[in-house]
Amino acid sequence: MFKTVEVNTNEKLHSTAFWSVIGITAFILIQKNYEFHFYYMEQFQLFLYNKTFLSDLFFSFGGLSEIISRWLLQFYIYPWAGALITTSLLLSVAVLMNQIAIKISKNRSLILLPILSAIFLFFLHLNHNYYITGTISFIFLLTAFLIYFNIDNYKVKKIIVATLLTVLLFWLAGSVAFLFAIAIIILQLLIDRKHILYSFLPLALIFILAYIGVNSGWIGDYSLVFSPLQYYHHKMTPSPLIYYSWCLFLLLIFLTFVVNDIKISRKLHYFVFICQIVIVSAVIYFLLPKYGQLLSVQYKQLDYYTRMGRFDEIIEESKKPINNLLHAYYLNIALMETDQLGKQFLQFDQKGINGLIPIMNKELASLITLNELNFTLGDIAASQNFAFESNITISKTGSPRLYKRLVQTNLISGDYPVAEKYINLLEQTHYYKEWATNQRRFLYNDMAVENDELLGSKRRGLPAENYLLGATDLIYRMQHLVNADPDNTAAKEYLASVFLFGKQMPLFIELIDKYYNTEEALLNLPERFQEAIIIINENNPTEWDRYKINPLVVSKYEDFKQLFLENRNNANISNIMYHKYGNTYWFYFMFYN
């Protein structure tokens, strides 16, 4: 007897140590590689400390899981929290599935299916169209199944428990109730076929509840009851991974029953264990490139820095190779926010005019970038429009990040009742409450708005006329902004950069003549702008003095021109010139199409 207790204790200690190592390792790797993913995900759902909000959620289909998921998601904005919550949820799935396997079969080496289920769910967690409600509901399912399995074999008692658990799962966790009903049937088939008909009662109950729910409008349609689609954005095509954990759960019940009577030696036990770990490693290796969201890691980092106003870190990050337009958008936003767009023109790989004018489409990344860009430029009407569109796209109840932007844009434009509505909303959140309350000092107080460094500067730059409805052209709108506020450095340098990248020299010099027409402005003209003026007035050097061109720039141009003339017949001239003058506008003008 004492030996049995000792063996069981050792097995429990080994199991605890194994899952602890798995959990700690997963947490470290997830935090290291996906820190910014969790900050990004936080904005996708809203949790309000409001009785009506919570009541509506609680009495919806799968309401308790929804409440828990949103409550957890709000903490993703804090460092380490997202990785810790995700690891805890996934580890719970694996441990609970492993406990089910142990209950069915005493063979404790079957860890493959529990770990694979957690891995498939992890990759789903990286997809912003997946709701972690699905993982929480799955945990409820596993817990309910363990409760059911531990009930003694008294038939009436098991039927009553199964019925109660089915109703509770259906209401509180959603479509996993259907999976629970299927699991009971499979278990009964494997254990006792004589009483198989009783095991169909939960499934019959699901059909009745589904009919009532759909016809009453409580549930959208039957697909939400009989599949995991409830846990995925309804407008998006679901990833096939969403079905895998469901299938593996049913497969776990079957396989653990099949291997229940198989006797294996300790050596074979360790061999099977190692093989399972190898398979898990191989699955991660092959799925990571497709489902690991590796291409979006840097985008989420830059988006977070922009959101938090950490523009210097974006500029520092941009010293590395820039491989996509989204990076270029955020770099140019950061340069404008720090008044460096003109000064640093051509010092980074800004992707030309395409890196200044984002592609306009309905994708979320594009809408959020356009919102940030237009706010930086001072185009408050456009920023508000894109924030509103993003909010509709992002989730059922909107994004706290975008509600924050809508507070700002409405305060700037003087739409105080609308700003107050969004302030009231954010005051019911955890993370944004203090910020929202602080914005109340601006409500119905024009002087407070105008004296604020951010809001006041944006309000002073508002155009007198409403051009948004009649203007989709970004350049046209920027010209209106500069006309409204000639001190809007971001808009001026943005226009100048667009003209220079497009080699629209007449428009560029017109901008210089109109808005850089004082001696101080010309003396502080960015070096690349001075280089462009030399090109425009190459045959009229007297104009260089009028534009206060720095003598050092003039001297550099003479050296540039001499080197060009010496090598004009050299087939390798572009490489020769790039080596010394690659970051000058002269090189760009001559060698870039």
DSSP 283-311: HHHHHHHHHS-GGGHHHHHHHHHHHTT-H
pLDDT at 151 over 50: yes
For position 2, what pLDDT does the model report? 31
In a domain, 179, yes or no: yes
Residue 391 lies in a domain: no
Are residues 45 and 132 both part of a single domain? yes
Name the residue among 155, 125, 156, 157 with its Cα closest to residue 138.
Answer: 125
> Hey, what are 358's tokens?
């984002």
Of 124-128, 462-466, 536-540, give the lowest mean pLDDT range.
Answer: 462-466
What is the per-residue pLDDT across 311-357, written as a single tens digit (0 to 9) for each? 999 999 999 889 899 999 999 999 999 999 999 999 999 999 999 98
Asked if 101 and 256 touch (Cβ cutoff 8 Å), the reply is yes
**Domain match, 33 and 77 both:** yes
Residue (of 391, 392, 415) closest to 404 by Cα position: 391
> Is the Cβ–Cβ distance between 226 and 178 less than 8 Å?
yes
Same domain, 233 and 316: no
What's the pLDDT score for residue 316? 94
Beta strands in 330-440, from DSSP E residues, in sequence order: none
For position 51, what pLDDT does the model report? 94
Predicted local confidence at residue 6, as pLDDT:
44
Q: How confident is the model at residue 559 (pLDDT cuts 50, 70, 90)?
A: very high
Kindly state whether residue 562 falls inside one of the protein's structural domains.
Answer: yes
How many whole angstroms separate alpha carbon 176 and alpha carbon 226? 8
pLDDT at residue 469 tops 50:
no
Instruction: Give 466's pLDDT tier (boundaries 50, 70, 90).
Output: low
- Retrieve residue 98's tokens: 């492993």
The sign of the CA dihedral 148, 90, 74, 377 is negative
Q: Do residues 196 and 263 share a domain?
A: yes
With vertex at residue 214, the alpha carbon angle to CA 208 and CA 216, rounded to the nearest 5 degrees, is 100
136-145, 255-264, 402-411: least confident range:
255-264
- Report whether 288 contacts 294 (CB < 8 A): yes
Expressed as residue numbers, the domain containing 317 is: 300-356
Query: Which ranges constitute the DSSP H helices of 105-230?
Result: 112-125, 133-150, 155-172, 176-191, 201-215
Note whether residue 434 is domain-resident.
no
Same domain membership, residue 282 and residue 186? yes
Same domain for 225 and 136: yes
d(C-alpha 66, C-alpha 270), whole Å = 40
CB atoms within 10 A of CB 218: 13
Residues 106 and 132 in one domain: yes
Rg of the Cα atoms in the chain? 31
34 with 55, same domain: the answer is: yes
Residues 233 and 348 in one domain: no
Tell me if 26 is assigned to some domain. Answer: yes
Q: Which of 173-177, 447-451, 579-583 has the lowest mean pLDDT?
A: 579-583
pTM tops 0.85? yes
Instruction: State the average pLDDT over residues 71-88.
Output: 96
**CA-closest candidate to residue 353, choices 494, 238, 237:** 494
pLDDT at 107: 58
Q: What is the mean pLDDT of residues 214-230?
A: 94
Q: Which of 336, 356, 376 is the last residue of a domain?
A: 356
Q: Confirm whether 397 is domain-assigned.
A: no
Both structure tokens of 196: 């198989």
Neighbours of 331 (CB within 10 A): 24
Is 316 found in the same domain as 283?
no
First to last CA, the chain: 85
Contact (CB, 8 A) for 512 and 528: no
Query: CA–CA distance from 515 to each of 21, 368, 480, 510 (Å)?
Result: 64, 30, 13, 9
Cβ pair 38, 83 in contact under 8 A: yes
Structural domain count, the chain: 3
Q: What average pLDDT does the segment 383-406 reach?
A: 89
Q: Does the residue 7 lie in any domain?
A: no
Shared-domain flag, residues 222 and 327: no
Tell whether 115 and 179 lie within a shared domain: yes
% the chain with pLDDT above 90: 74
CA 545 to chain centre: 51
SS (H, E, C) 168-191: HHHHHCCCHHHHHHHHHHHHHHHH
Establish if 86 belongs to a structural domain.
yes
* Range 568-583 average pLDDT: 91
Of 462, 516, 314, nearest to 530 by C-alpha is: 516
Instruction: Return the pLDDT at 271.
Output: 85
